Structure 1
């Protein structure tokens, strides 16, 4: 049984076992008269999502809103499939994401370019969302779920141009998607709060990411709800770590190109990932995290994809 985590303030977290990994990607359930969920994960995660709803005793027909922070397939790839189980749900998305959910052909092509032969096992099927079931939320617009809970949508580019972050008035928390990075809750057992930027291709923009983070920080949230993975009740630490690691990520991409100017982007990305891996391992070693820790499987995957985004960013700059 997939047992959801009770986060308090009428919010539950369902582990989606994305990439067959626990604590990788999650769906947040907001328990109101109008039930809302934030993120769906990819289509292979939908059975885990439905199992989590069953454990919460929520009929999918009760879901009124399916909100996605952005349309990358690890966050929103399962929307079309999930809708088949949620006859009364509307999908809430960034204005720039609407057409890609209605016609996911470009999303599919982009993911195939990044993931190659792994695409089908990771993401299939990707189903279109009927346009009449899509709701766009512009910057600053709201969605009232109850008298106590209103969601405020903020345009937060940096990770992607089609990214919203959502402030929840009831919990005073923010659903940040990938805007301020990835949180590794596995390390909290060792007493370590650890976050890294998410710089995946192909719209990564460090300056925009910094501005978006500053905007969210000014909201003075009491919680961060990460897309990957879980809740952090020390938001200032997440913002601080982004300011520390983002320049290191950007520098690693630049250095990989400058040292290997004739290499292919794929080879340059490998070099950048190696540099980032050394930096991360050195940092975690200082805190006594052994190289055998299972958290490295998740970190390694993230660094490979982040390195691709960094190389793409610098080639566009040049």
Structure 2
């Protein structure tokens, strides 16, 4: 598969496709070209060679990276941080305070991911390397990080997907890097004239109320752009907030029905697929469209997170 070149998003930001799961447009690393070269997200370790290639294609040297910012420590966003750090001798890894200890000692992260992904773990995530504590930089809600003469990134505590989740406000683009809190951007149906947005409710800290509140907070900032962990940017934030906000209770209701009927995560996955399939049919997306390959994977993990959430509140 020919790998795509880094995408120039304007506002001195590029997006390098990490080809997570060997899929184009699944996860990416944002490159902010400032005086202090800054990356947002690493993806899993198998994406690191692609990040290094992408930096070279932009004309940048990994050795000059100053900051590697992680929105949260789930392995599809942060699993490659330790490996990438080997190529970035000047870099610090920026993380939420709740995530720091898991990057210094990733044993619990590894165990949790193995429980979810089983035999696929090594192919998807290995290796996961510990990060020396002296190279970890904690940022809390309201903290700022100067990366250039006219740029102070501002950090936001935005739980809902995870309790250790940071949003990063970039004043130059008036955009926010939202990781997974504001959902997933499904661009795979662009060939049919549709881009749509769904929440991601993976284990084990999904909280629908917190997710809605985090989105309201970002909405109140009147940003021009949302930079997603999965994948790319939206220049129509209001549409994003509206769609994800409307889908959250639909996801929870599907899980509650499965929970009440004793159908478990498998039943929830089928209900989610049924709900979203109906939406896509109304927008002219055929049932054999390639987007379903991704949706089935995502809904399997979303269903686990929804069942975990219900088990805590019931």
Please name the residue that 1:54 is paired with: 56
Shift of 1:160: 0.3
Name 1:95's counterpart in structure 2.
97
Which of 275, 278, 284 does residue 279 from structure 1 map onto?
275
1:305 CA drift (Å): 0.4
Report Cα offsets for 1:154-204 as digits up to 9, x if no partner.
Answer: 001110000001110000000000001000112233222301101000011
- Deviation for aligned residue 1:148: 2.3
Distance 1:187 1:152 in 2: 33
Question: Can you give the 5+ residue segments of structure 1 that lack an aligned partner in the other structure?
Answer: 261-266
Partners of 1:71 and 1:317 in 2: how far apart? 24
Match of 1:221 among 220, 223, 229: 223
Give the match for residue 17 of structure 1: 19
Whether 2:142 is the aligned partner of 1:140: answer yes
Query: Post-superposition shift, 1:117?
Result: 1.0
Is 1:294–2:296 an aligned residue pair? no
1:233 aligns with one of 228, 232, 235: 235
- Separation (CA, whole Å) in 1 of partners of 2:192 and 2:172: 30
SS in 2 for 1:27: strand
1:65-76 to structure 2, matched below 5 A, reads 65-76=67-78
Q: 1:17 and 1:316 mapped to 2: Cα distance? A: 34
Match of 1:14, SS state, is: strand
Give the CA deviation at 1:244.
1.0
**What does residue 315 of structure 1 align with?**
311
Would the aligned equivalents of 2:188 and 2:195 in 1 still touch at CA under 8 Å? no
Query: How many angstroms apart in 1 are the aligned matches of 2:71 and 2:152?
Result: 16
* TM-score (normalizing by structure 1): 0.97
Find 2:212's aligned residue among 206, 210, 213. 210
Q: Secondary structure at the match of 1:145?
A: strand
Residue in 2 that maps onto 1:3: 5
Q: What value does the CA root-mean-square deviation take over the aligned residues? A: 0.9
CA distance in 1, matches of 2:129, 2:87: 13
Report deviation, 1:218: 0.6
From 187, 190, 193, the equivalent of 1:188 is 190
Contact map agreement 2:35 2:149 (CA 8 A) in 1: no
Whole-angstrom CA distance in 1 between matches of 2:261 and 2:83: 45
Tell me what 1:78 maps to. Answer: 80
Aligned residue runs from structure 1 range 257-272, under 5 A: 257-260=259-262, 268-272=264-268
Secondary structure, in 3 states, of the residue corresponding to 2:161? coil
SS in 1 for 2:226: strand
Structure 1: which 4+ aligned runs deviate by more than 6 Å? none
Instruction: Tell me if structure 2 keeps the 8 A contact 1:182–1:198.
Output: yes
For residue 121 of structure 1, the aligned residue among 115, 120, 123 is 123
Q: Write the distance in 2 (CA, Å) between the matches of 1:214 and 1:10.
A: 27
Equivalent residue, structure 1, for 2:257: 255
Give the conservation status (yes or no) of the 8 Å contact 1:2–1:55.
Answer: no
Write the distance in 2 (CA, Å) between the matches of 1:152 and 1:193. 28
Partner residue of 1:178?
Answer: 180
Q: 1:214-239: per-residue Cα shift (whole Å, max 9, x none)?
A: 11111111000000000110000010
Whole-Å Cα distance in 1 between the matches of residues 32 and 191 of structure 2? 26
Counterpart residue number, 1:104: 106
| CA–CA separation in structure 2 for the residues paired with 1:242 and 1:164 | 18
Taking the aligned partners of 2:312 and 2:187, their CA distance within structure 1 comes to 34
Provide the C-alpha distance between the structure 1 equivalents of 2:237 and 2:4, rounded to a whole number of angstroms. 27
The aligned counterpart of 2:161 is 159
Compute the displacement of 1:30 (Å).
Answer: 0.2
Provide the residue aligned with 1:64 in structure 2. Answer: 66
Contact 1:184–1:229 at 8 Å: present in 2 too? Answer: yes
